[in-house]
């Protein structure tokens, strides 16, 4: 099965933005690491349900996935000198950046809370 590379880049960007390893994200999303790796490499395309699970695992609403996807597409087009097409699914760039920053902040807060819960449960795993 052939995947979609830009979807994979988006998943990888979300994972790196949440400061998670592939193993950690896979565990949180209920996937195995090799499956997540294939998604990130664009060898397989995840289902909508899988994208939703990945987004929830990094603290985002699944609709925000498509906004990140669109930003990455635009950045890649600029880098390659291709024309940037307007998207029907995404607002303007400033709104996108604001939403992504908001989502990143939420993801960071959720991650910090999760680390606190883990540390309280097992003091040997404190960061």
- Check which CATH number belongs to the domain holding 18 and give it: 1.10.260.40
| pLDDT score at 26 | 96
- Report the percent of the chain where pLDDT is more than 70: 83
What range defines the domain where residue 35 resides?
A: 5-125
Tokens in use for 67? 């906004």
| pLDDT score at 58 | 93
104-110, long-range: CB within 8 Å, 24+ apart, which pairs?
Answer: 104/17, 106/59, 106/60, 107/17, 107/18, 107/58, 107/59, 107/60, 109/59, 110/59
| pLDDT score at 88 | 45
Q: Is the full-model pTM beyond 0.75?
A: no
Segment 22-33 shows an average pLDDT of 96
| Structural domains of the chain, count | 1
């Amino acid at each position: 099965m052939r995947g979609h590379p830009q979807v994979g880049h988006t998943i990888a960007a979300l994972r790196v933005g949440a400061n998670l390893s592939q193993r950690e994200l896979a565990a949180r999303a209920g996937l195995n690491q090799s499956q997540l790796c294939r998604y990130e490499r664009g060898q397989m395309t995840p289902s909508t349900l899988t994208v939703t699970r990945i987004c929830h695992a990094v603290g985002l609403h699944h609709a925000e996935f498509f906004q990140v996807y669109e930003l990455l597409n635009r950045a890649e087009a600029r880098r390659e000198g291709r024309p940037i097409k307007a998207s029907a699914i995404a607002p303007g760039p400033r709104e996108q950046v604001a939403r992504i920053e908001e989502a990143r902040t939420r993801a960071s807060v959720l991650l910090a809370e999760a680390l606190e819960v883990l540390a309280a449960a097992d003091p040997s795993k404190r960061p």
